[in-house]
């Protein structure tokens, strides 16, 4: 039974759950078997909680089939930046290596209310800093397409678990590309929703709109399924949005009328590997087969580097300055750099960054008055050697900081627009490439519809998971 279940889509599994053809316990058995077989090669799910999961599944099964929520017992791994009651949650930091939360994050509560069964925590870099998933608590997570390569990050464990069939859907989060980068590197789908679409427990910055929680899966429809289960307002999250009656799964399954879409290889803010750019360009122009006009264009996001560096540093200082003071020498260099940069910011610098973000949002909204969708590479390179902490240069351009290589993703984060990484092809080495698809802020329905239309054209068969492939 296990291989058959693992090879099905999340939507198909939920249909079978709702029909009583399989039980949540069947799914947990299949996952436990699959994790034992493949996770030693990739290290994606370092913390398992199957006993808790089976208790929750058994309780859910006492309810009638039609009262088990949108997920109806579908298992979901949670990124190790998000607390799950009674389950070890480390943030990838030695400081919290033995932390057991007494209460779950709002996000986890929402998923469980919708019938999601939490069975694992997925790997992440320390505090989500850096787009390569490694930490001192659990070690390095490897890309299943070539285990000598990076899985990106910070939702690297989630992406790897999906690509290898250790999950049907997965939770991730995204500040500067952390849902989209690992999705691109691992050949799966990752969606950064608009801020507020998914309620979560606020950190020290209660009105944060730069970091969001979101869904990952192997297909667009499966991502939409999980998004439906994650959305909703919660008074404890002051930026959370109420459900507006939209079914994102229905939206994904309903072809939107697209008139004109845009492609940009670099958004005017970054170098891009030529092979990656060409793979993405070819995929984007497939929209022409649907009678959609494709043009080369992008909004003016020229302030993105300066703006993001400031706002990210401010956020890191608010979140981690006390840790740096209380635990000197125990944070990784990239985290320390971001915190110290934030502590050195002046009020004029912060004001300038906020003004830059406001201007970029306004220009982006105006841009989507003319174009239905914007497409770019999701990452500027293919998966790089896992020993590299980050990408230091691209196309002959050397970067000043460890986050500069993420500009094509973090520029979009600044605009509040929803963005999705869709598998769109492979390099000459057989490594996945993701196409970033962006829509008007709060335009998830059109984004998912357009992405699903292109997914059908590309026909890359991402439903079927892969076996980890050793590389050198």
Reply yes or no on whether the pLDDT at 258 is more than 60. Answer: yes
215 DSSP β-pair partners: 171
**What is the CATH code of the structural domain delimited by 2-304+347-458?**
3.90.1300.10
| pLDDT tens digit sequence for 38-61 | 999 999 999 999 999 999 999 999
| pLDDT tens digit sequence for 135-158 | 999 999 999 999 999 999 999 999
In the chain, domain spans: 2-304+347-458
| Three-state DSSP class for residue 203 | coil
Reply yes or no on whether the pLDDT at 2 is more than 70. Answer: no
369 burial level (CB within 10 Å; 0-12, 13-18, 19+): exposed
**pLDDT at 1 (0 to 100):** 43
What's the whole-number mean pLDDT along residues 392-406?
96
342 burial level (CB within 10 Å; 0-12, 13-18, 19+): buried
CB of 153 within 8 A of CB of 181? Answer: yes
What is the average pLDDT score of the chain? 97
- What angle, rounded to 10 degrees, do the helices at 24-42 and 50-60 form? 160
- Tell me the two tokens of residue 224: 């939409």
Q: What is the DSSP letter of 287?
A: G
Q: Distance between CA 380 and CA 221 in Å, rounded?
A: 26
In the chain, what is the straight-line distance between the N-terminal and C-terminal CA atoms, in Å?
Answer: 34
* Other Cβ atoms closer than 10 A to 182: 39
- Could you tell me the sign of the dihedral formed by the alpha carbons of 317, 323, 324, 329, in that order? negative
- Tell me the two tokens of residue 454: 């292109």
Reply yes or no on whether the pLDDT at 185 is more than 70. Answer: yes
CB of 77 within 8 A of CB of 158? Answer: yes
CB of 446 within 8 A of CB of 256? Answer: yes
Q: Distance between CA 321 and CA 327 in Å, rounded?
A: 10
Reply yes or no on whether the pLDDT at 95 is more than 70. Answer: yes
Going by pLDDT thresholds of 50, 70 and 90, the confidence category of residue 3 is: low
Q: Give the contacts of 347 (CB within 8 A, at least 6 positions apart).
A: none
What's the whole-number mean pLDDT along residues 446-465?
97
- Tell me the two tokens of residue 130: 């850096």
**Residue among 280, 270, 227, 5 nearest 114 (CA):** 227
| Three-state DSSP class for residue 214 | strand
- Tell me the two tokens of residue 92: 């990838």
Query: Which residues are catalytically annotated?
Result: 79, 154, 178
Q: Distance between CA 435 and CA 281 in Å, rounded?
A: 9
């Amino acid at each position: 039974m296990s291989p058959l279940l693992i090879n099905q889509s999340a939507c198909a599994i939920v249909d079978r759950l709702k029909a009583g053809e399989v039980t949540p316990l069947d799914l947990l058995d299949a996952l436990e078997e699959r994790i034992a077989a493949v996770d030693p090669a990739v290290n994606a799910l370092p913390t398992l909680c199957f006993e808790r999961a089976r208790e929750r599944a058994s309780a859910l099964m006492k309810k009638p089939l039609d009262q088990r929520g949108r997920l109806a017992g579908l298992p979901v791994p949670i990124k190790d930046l998000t607390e799950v009651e009674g389950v070890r949650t480390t943030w990838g930091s030695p400081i919290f290596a033995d932390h057991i939360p007494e209460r779950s994050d709002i996000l986890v509560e929402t998923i469980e209310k919708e019938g999601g069964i939490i069975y694992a925590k997925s790997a992440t870099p320390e505090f989500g800093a850096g787009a390569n998933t490694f930490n001192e608590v659990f070690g390095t997570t490897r890309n299943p397409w070539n285990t000598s390569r990076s899985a990106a990050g910070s939702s690297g464990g989630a992406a790897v678990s999906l690509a290898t069939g250790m999950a049907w859907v997965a939770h991730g989060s995204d500040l500067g590309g952390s849902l989209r980068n690992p999705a691109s590197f691992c050949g799966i789908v990752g969606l950064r929703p608009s801020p507020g679409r998914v309620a979560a427990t606020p950190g020290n910055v209660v009105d944060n709109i730069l970091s969001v929680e979101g869904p990952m899966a192997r297909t667009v429809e499966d991502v939409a399924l999980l998004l439906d289960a994650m959305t909703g307002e919660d008074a404890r999250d002051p930026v959370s949005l109420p459900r507006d009656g939209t079914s994102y799964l229905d939206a994904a399954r309903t072809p939107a009328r697209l008139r004109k879409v845009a492609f940009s290889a670099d958004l005017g803010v970054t170098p891009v590997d030529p092979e990656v750019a060409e793979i993405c360009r070819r995929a984007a122009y497939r929209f022409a087969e649907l009678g959609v006009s494709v043009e080369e264009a992008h909004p003016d996001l020229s302030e993105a580097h300066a703006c993001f560096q400031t706002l990210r540093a401010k956020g890191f200082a608010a979140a981690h300055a006390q840790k740096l003071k209380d635990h000197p020498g125990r944070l990784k260099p990239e985290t320390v750099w971001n915190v110290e940069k934030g502590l050195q910011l002046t009020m004029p610098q912060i004001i300038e960054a906020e003004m830059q973000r406001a201007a970029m949002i306004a220009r982006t909204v105006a841009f989507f008055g003319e174009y239905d969708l914007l497409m770019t590479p999701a990452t500027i390179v293919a998966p790089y050697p896992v020993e590299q902490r980050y990408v230091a240069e691209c196309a002959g351009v050397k970067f000043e900081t460890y986050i500069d290589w993420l500009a094509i993703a973090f520029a979009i984060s600044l605009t509040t627009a929803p963005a999705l990484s869709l598998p769109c092809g492979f390099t000459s080495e057989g490594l996945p490439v993701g196409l970033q698809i962006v829509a008007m802020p709060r335009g998830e329905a059109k984004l998912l519809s357009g992405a699903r239309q292109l997914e059908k054209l590309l026909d890359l068969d991402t439903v079927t998971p892969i076996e980890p492939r050793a590389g050198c």
